[in-house]
Structure 1
Amino acid sequence: MQQRDSIVETRSFDHVPESERHGTVRTQVQFWFMVNATLITLFTGAVGPAMGLGLSWTLLAVVLGSVFGTLFQAFHGAQGPHMGLPQMIQSRVQFGSRGAVLPLAAATIVQFGFAIFFIQTASSSLAAITVDQIGLYDVLIGAVAVVLAIVGYNLLLRVEKFASYITLANLVLVTLAAVVVLPIGTMINNSAFEPVAFLAQFGAAATYQIAIAPIVSDYTRYLPSRTKGRAVSAAVFGGTLVSALWLESLGAALAIAMPDSDVITAIHDMGDSFGYGIGSVTMAVAVVACLITCSLSFYSGSVSFLSALEAFRTMKSTGKVRSVTIAIGGVIVIAGTLLLPADFLGAFTAFLSILGYFLIPWTAVNLTDYYIVRRGRYSITDILKPDGGIYGRWGVPGMISYALGFIAMVPFFSTAIYAGPVATALGGADIAFAVGLGISSCTYLLLTRRRDFSGEFDAVRAAPLNTLGEPQRSASASTDSMEGNIPV
């Protein structure tokens, strides 16, 4: 059993027992605030303005899209303390131990892929205020991120908490600079409205938030099981929404005021125009924020990879297994960062967007099962069995729902690599996420509505580890007592 004072975290895909649970909802607010508090978030707010949308309409689309997407993200937050498991391995309930490999693989590639983006952004920010040694910075920043991820959750939580104060102060100063330097009043009065641009901005903001869903429980599973699900969801929702709205709004204003500059260069120049070295300070803070978020990508990417691998080869979660996996992933990511040309980022982000499409049907199926179908009544013991236990190796309803949702999304894809016919007809607006969520969720409900779960729930009550409490319960336990533990 991992001890609370261990330096290196040993948990990865396995269950966190109550004796190792700790933390508060308040720390989760700060943690999730930092997840979106990187300069990369600025790009999301620039989608609408790039298509001719005025600032006021862009801000409305950012708010509506972010709220919509964050709801799905936040609902996953309650699963962490209730189940004590990382996010993606929970998919074994709906997809089976081996059927879950596809979303697990997508989550792995997306997380390690985004790590490349975070390293490049951090290196570029550092080069803007020092000397141009991008290659060296890539290696140093990647190496530090690997070390943070290897040490694990407790260190990441402390670092994020400390960084949140610095980042918050910097955002206040940057916002003050924007109000003084940029013609905010004139831009607000510009009521240019383009329906396609509004829809595109809404979709970009929503998808950006939904993309975080596959990692949420990785960082809420250490909370005590008595922590109320609503409180956890509210912490995730509030923390990540505030930073997303803040950064995306700044990105929108910068994109309109300085259309010939990329938003990162624009925020640097704007800060320097205001004075007091705000631009340089912002770049320095950006380095720290991207480095920390990169370590989260390494952490969650390794958890997803090990969750997939364990379905085919029984293994024990140890600090060594975690460390080796993260280190190998880190070497691959750093090598990719050094080998990829700077102008590859456009195609690369489109590639990551397509991989993100693979996770949208997953979140629909997972949440529908957790909140509506099985209502949080799971056997942790069986989830952790490589053969899936009572859930089996292949979860047919989940796999069918996933496949239909993904296929339905294809005509709505809108990326630089591929644009579906419907997306093209809509002028490039990406609403694939809404289609995938709706089709997958409705299909899963239809396929499971007549299924008798009584035998499965009896097995859940008898399991040594379950979501009804860790001690083994008698199979004759009443349904009423079980219902009292269902998440709300």
Structure 2
Amino acid sequence: MQHDEVVESRSFDYVPQNARHGTVRHQLQFWFMVNATLITLFTGAVGPLYGLGLSWTLLALFLGSVFGTMFQAFHGAQGPKMGLPQMIQSRVQFGSRGSILPIAAATIVQFGFAIFYVQTGAAALVDVSVNQTAPFQIGLGVAAVVLAIVGYRMLLRVEKFASYIMLGNLVLLTVAAFAVLPLTSMLSEGSFAWVPFLAQFGAAATYQIAIAPIVSDYTRYLPANISGRAVSSAVFGGTLLSALWIESLGAVLATAFPETDVITAIRDMGNEFGFGLGSGTMVIAAGSCLITCSLSFYSGSVSFLSALEAFRPIKSTAALRSVTLVIAGIAVIIAALTLPADILGSFAAFLSILGYFLIPWTAVNLTDYYLVRKGVYSITDILRPDGGIYGRWSRAGLISYALGFAAMIPFFSTALYVGPVAAAMDKADLAFAVGLAVSSVSYLLLTRSTDFRAELDVVRRAALNTVGQHELQTSTIQH
């Protein structure tokens, strides 16, 4: 993206050094806002929904969020080093056309999240105004598309500004929870059971892993010489803080008001505290849903165009991005208008399904980057529709993905299907742990006999080539 662009033209392509900008602190604010939506409340309500005590729910939230955020944060360091969005990097592990499988899953996930952001934001506005859901859904969807079309620079500015408002709002809500609710007695009540504990742990972990396909979409704009550890720390700290904070509020509200929707509960608690806090929270929440919906549109369109470019060379332009986003926006708005009003039930089913598709991908991608090729890639070959040295199809990545996904099936536990192992464990869902382990180990074993010396020579030569008349930068990490 050039500095004088009003509407961003960049999507799946490389970000040259003269277009890089931003700091680690800005990334911390950015990722804090990614989870700062009412949907995150629902994730914290899973434990109480199954009868888990509040103290155990909070423990499961902490452990699950830390576990899931680690995988998400490791992707953050890839962006500055490679200058590419997240999913097109999958061409290294899966091939230019083999990567269509995880890219398609990521595209569906991002547009699926957009549907729920539109629904949830509209529900928040209905709570404090007229009972007319459809106009709010349409308005939020259109505004989110416009923001995504303008692009990353605008998204970064909006997220930075909104982070201060959201931080203040969360502090006030926390004070209200201590003032209005009997937290001490709530923490001492309730029992422990493995099934709801694992359900809450899995929901929190999967919610964080679900963000993994978009991380480099935004960290790729940082200068290449920035510390990868610092970037990962910013992603980790920002998303973990907002996730734990809001999920904990969701757990408290679901425990205190088991018969009330968590959105309504947080509004009522805030208003009982006074100063119109509940109603103000709804307005702020609608704004955060709008912003995060824009991110989903932005990353969803990047993933979609990455997949399309593998079959036909295309040039990323502002017009192409705009048309893609408008079409996606229309589809999302129609879906939001037609989905059932039971947002929590719909979201829980969606969360389970998306996690199953993303877990094998993140395992293969991170294993390759940190343990196999160790960050040494040819950007030129990644951007070739034929895959260059990585080919159109990569056996190791595809087999590892398939083995990981297949190994997860007996552990599935959803409203649509319960695997035999999950059924034997009272429907406890451990599929995410199995998928991560099997895909990672499979990929390590399948790449053990590969001689990467010839590939490394190609990577070094490719570093001297240009893309869009800008010198490419590749990692200097050695095997």
TM-score, with structure 2 as normaliser: 0.96
Q: Which aligned pairs between 1:19-58 and structure 2 lie closer than 5 A?
A: 19-58=18-57
1:232-290 deviation line (CA, Å, top 9, x unaligned): 00000000000000011111111111111111111111111111111101101100000
Q: How has the CA–CA distance of structure 1 residues 27 and 483 changed in structure 2, closer, same or farther, with 3 Å as cutoff?
A: closer
What does the per-residue CA deviation read over 1:467-486, in whole Å, with 9 as the maximum and x for residues that have no partner? 9xx7579xxxxxxxx98546
Look up the match of 2:196. Answer: 197
Whether the 8 Å CA contact 2:119–2:343 is kept in 1: the answer is no
Q: Residues of 1 paired with 2:182 and 2:289: CA distance?
A: 29
1:338-357 alignment to 2 at 5 Å? 338-343=337-342, 346-347=345-346, 349-357=348-356
What does residue 449 of structure 1 align with?
448
- 8 Å CA contact 2:12–2:306 kept in 1: the answer is yes
- In structure 1, what is the equivalent of residue 73 of structure 2? 74
Aligned residue number for residue 131 of structure 2: 132
Is the deviation greater in 222-231 or in 56-65?
56-65
Which residue type is aligned with residue 274 of structure 2?
G
Q: Which amino acid in structure 2 is aligned with residue 149 of structure 1?
A: A
Query: What amino acid maps onto 1:231 in structure 2?
Result: A
Distance 2:328 2:20 in 1: 27
CA RMSD in angstroms, aligned pairs only: 1.7
Alignment of 1:313-328 (within 5 A): 313-328=312-327
Q: How does 1:13-412 map to 2 (within 5 A)?
A: 13-190=12-189, 192-343=191-342, 346-347=345-346, 349-412=348-411
* TM-aligned CA deviation for residue 347 of structure 1: 3.9
Q: Which runs of 4+ in 1 moved over 6 A?
A: none
Counterpart-to-counterpart distance in 2, 1:214 and 1:400? 20
Deviates most, 261-270 or 183-192: 183-192
How far 1:351 moved relative to its partner? 3.7
Q: Match for residue 476 of structure 1?
A: none
Note if contact 2:411-2:431 (Cα within 8 Å) is conserved in structure 1.
yes
Matching residue of 2:420: 421
* Aligned CA distance change for structure 1 residues 378 and 194 (closer, same or farther; 3 Å): same
What is the distance in 1 between the residues matched to 2:77 and 2:389?
23
Q: Which letter does structure 2 place at the counterpart of 1:428?
A: K
Aligned residue type for 1:133: Q
Q: TM-score, normalised by structure 1?
A: 0.95
Q: CA deviation at 1:48?
A: 1.2
Q: Which moved more, 1:220-229 or 1:43-52?
A: 43-52
Q: Alpha carbons of 1:129 and 1:427: their partners in 2 closer, same or farther (altered >3 Å)?
A: same
Measure the CA separation in 2 of the matches of 1:354 and 1:264: 23
Give the secondary-structure state (helix, strand or coil) at the position aligned to 1:131: coil
Distance in 2 of aligned mates of 1:484 and 1:104: 27
Q: CA deviation at 1:130?
A: 1.0
Give the conservation status (yes or no) of the 8 Å contact 1:49–1:252: yes
In 2, Cα distance between equivalents of 1:355 and 1:241: 20
**Structure 2: unaligned runs, 5 residues or longer:** none
349-358 vs 33-42, which moves further: 349-358
Structure 1's 345 and 54: CA in aligned 2 closer, same or farther, altered over 3 A? closer
Q: Which moved more, 1:187-196 or 1:153-162?
A: 187-196
Kindly indicate whether the alpha-carbon contact (under 8 Å) linking 1:380 and 1:465 is maintained by their aligned counterparts in 2.
Answer: no
What residue ranges of structure 1 are gaps of 5+ in the alignment?
474-481
| Aligned-pair CA distance for 1:197 | 1.4
* Identical aligned residues as a percent: 71
